[in-house]
Chains A and B, each alone.
Chain A
Amino acid sequence: MPKYMLLTNYDDGIGAGPMSQWDPDDVTAHLEYLRALNQELIDNGELVEVQALTGPELARTVTVDGQGGPVVTDGPYTEAKEVLAGYQLVDVESEARAIEIAARVAAAPGPGGVPLRQPIEVRQLMGPPPGGDL
């Protein structure tokens, strides 16, 4: 079965702003929705991994100076909404199923229970070569 990564960034489709500014009940409802969804994926035998990443405040960007020395900068802070917030890794029958799950993530409730409409990027993991020889 193919594996897909469902990537969520800080962007939300309705301009709800950071969760720290929501009504606490809305935060609870949002987290509970995602927890239930992940449990459902476990029960289905579809979830491989779910992870949230620390915020851009702790992010570091590493390059090299051309002589082999590392150059480390803080951030990126640029457009916070373009920063990866977390991901789910699912092992499913088809791309259609991965899209179905992504749609459920995108519909997670925001303030007032209104769906957040976060864009979820669906990326298939590289797998083994198909059977047989080239």
Chain B
Amino acid sequence: MTSTARIEDLLRELAPQVLGAVVRRYGDFDAAEDAVQEALLAAAMHWPAEGLPDNPRGWLIQTAVRRLTDQYRSDRARRRREEAAALREVPGAEPVQRDDALVLLFMCCHPALTPASSIALTLRAVGGLSTTEIAKAFLVPEATMAQRISRAKQKIAASGIPFRMPAAEEFTARLSSVLRVLYLLFNEGYTSSAGADLHRTDLSGEAIRLTRAMHAMLPEHSEVTGLLALMLLNDARRPARTGTHGELIPLAEQDRTRWNRPAIAEGVRLAAAAMAGGVVGEYQLQAAIAALHDGAERAEDTDWPQILGLYGLLARLTGNPMVELNRAVAAAMVHGPRAGLDLLAPLDERLPGHYRLDAVRGHLLDMLGDTEAAAAHYRAAAARTTSEPERQYLVTKAAKLNTQNRYRSDASN
């Protein structure tokens, strides 16, 4: 008997390799994906009782191919498919297997798909999650998620994307599209709720697992290394990020003994390696900033001057006004709240009415001691945020400042 959890892990590791092998042979991504899902299901049913086959990967490929050929045989459009297959270029000379999972990832994160479709398809085809699990993680009905995945597969079929590594001239662009999908998936992980199924629906964990696999396949790509470092360093703070009632705890007030030290050690090591890797991109810079936060014993030990410098680089690289918000906070920590508020001024045009701008302005005015204006900005931010824990945090902040203001005016009367 082999433990069910071990089999699940093995199946999810093998899923993209098996799918890659079948797609490589038959070219029909949509049908291959269904066949591989059936093979995985069969394995999950038989292996716990019967034990692992000698060659699990081979077993899965064989089972999937059998399903696929059964389906083709019963398919009235068989002739048409076979003709299409005959016309398709035979990828005989290409190196097989090792890169299949990577090719699959490039396919699922193709820029022709929307990020949401890419995420769903990646979780199923590369991550080996079932549609039920993906639907549960995103809090939508299974039928809805099934349709989303099915449409993504149809889109890939319709756009005729070949199953091979992107050519050198488009590699960088395609890679950045994969990294973006993985990063979005990681951030979606904040939705995952606790429960018995946590390890299956933990999207942040899944994003880390996929990025780790990608890093293993492309160890020299410093943006991949940087993204993995960033995920590990952010995820390491997760145990301290929320209180017992799910309330948000800001970085400065977190109990740092609850941070995940091994993850930080690995993240810091990877972040350093990524920065040494030549061309510096967005994820490396963000990872370097996260490494500085995670490396501080206490909040007051934070190396704000260096963080400010890194946000400067990041702002120049991305031109993203959200980065400017963080730069303003860093500037306030180094040069005082006035300096931070000065940096916010030009953002009124670029982020009109954005709650984050109000939240940061409230924070900096609070630092300055202008508690009334701070409370007003916290209230404005609370009214516009789309996150419940964040709204509670901002409302509480505003309420505390109001109380202070009342005491102050009572005392002066």
Binding site for B on A (CB under 8 A): 1-3, 42-49, 91, 93, 124, 126-134
Is A48 touching B186 in the complex (CB atoms < 8 A)? Answer: no
Contact A48 to B144, CB < 8 A, known contacts A93-B116, A130-B387: yes
Contact A129 B387 (CB under 8 A): yes
Q: What 1/0 mask marks residues of chain B from 176 to 204 whose CB sits below 8 Å from any chain A CB?
A: 00000000001110110000000000000
Check A44 against B250 for contact (C-beta < 8 Å): no
Assess whether B191 is in contact with A45, with CB atoms less than 8 Å apart: no
26 contacts between A and B (CB under 8 A): A1-B116, A42-B144, A45-B120, A45-B144, A45-B147, A45-B149, A45-B151, A47-B141, A47-B144, A48-B139, A48-B140, A93-B115, A127-B386, A129-B389, A129-B390, A130-B390, A131-B234, A133-B234, A133-B237, A133-B241, A133-B254, A133-B293, A134-B248, A134-B250, A134-B390, A134-B393
Known: A45-B144, A46-B144, A48-B140. A129 touches B248 (CB 8 A): yes
Q: Does B144 contact A126, Cβ atoms closer than 8 Å?
A: no
Partner of A126, one of B143, B251, B386: B386
Report the interface size for chain B: residues with CB under 8 A from the other chain.
38
CA of A1 to CA of B120 in the docked complex: distance in angstroms?
11
Asked if B241 and A91 make an inter-chain contact with CB atoms under 8 angstroms apart, the answer reads no
Q: What per-residue 1/0 map shows which CB atoms of B391-412 lie under 8 Å from chain A?
A: 1010000000000000000000
Interface check B114, CB cutoff 8 A: yes
15 further interface pairs, Cβ-Cβ under 8 Å (given A48-B141, A133-B251):
A1-B138, A45-B120, A45-B140, A45-B148, A46-B144, A47-B141, A48-B139, A49-B141, A93-B116, A126-B388, A128-B191, A128-B387, A129-B390, A134-B248, A134-B250
In the complex, which residue of chain B has the Cβ closest to the Cβ of A43?
Answer: B147
B250-283 near A? 1/0 per residue, CB < 8 Å:
1100100000000000000000000000000000
* B387→A45 contact, CB < 8 A: no
Instruction: Report the minimal beta-carbon distance from A72 to chain B, rounded to whole angstroms.
Output: 29
The secondary structure that dominates the B interface is helix
Partner of A42, one of B143, B248, B387: B143
Asked whether, in the complex, the Cβ of B387 is within 8 Å of the Cβ of A127, the reply is yes
Assembly CA distance A127 to B189 (angstroms): 12
Residues of A within 8 A of B186 (CB): 131
Contact check: which of B139, B143, B191, B386 meets A124 at CB < 8 Å?
Answer: B386
Residue B330 lies at the interface, judged by CB distance under 8 Å to chain A: no
Which residues does chain B contribute within 8 Å of A47, judged by CB atoms? 141, 144
Task: In the A-B complex, list the 8 residue pairs whose CB atoms are closest, starting with the nearest.
Answer: A45-B148, A131-B187, A134-B250, A126-B388, A128-B190, A45-B147, A133-B251, A129-B387
Contact with A along B145-172 (1 / 0, CB 8 A): 1111101000000000000000000000
A134 to B146, CA, bound (A): 35
Chain B contacts with A in 23-44, Cβ cutoff 8 A: none
With A and B bound together, what is the CA distance between A69 and B140 in angstroms? 38
Closest A residue to B359 by beta carbon equals: A134
A45: contacting residue among B145, B234, B390, B393, CB under 8 A = B145
The answer to whether B387 touches A91, judged by C-beta atoms less than 8 angstroms apart, is no
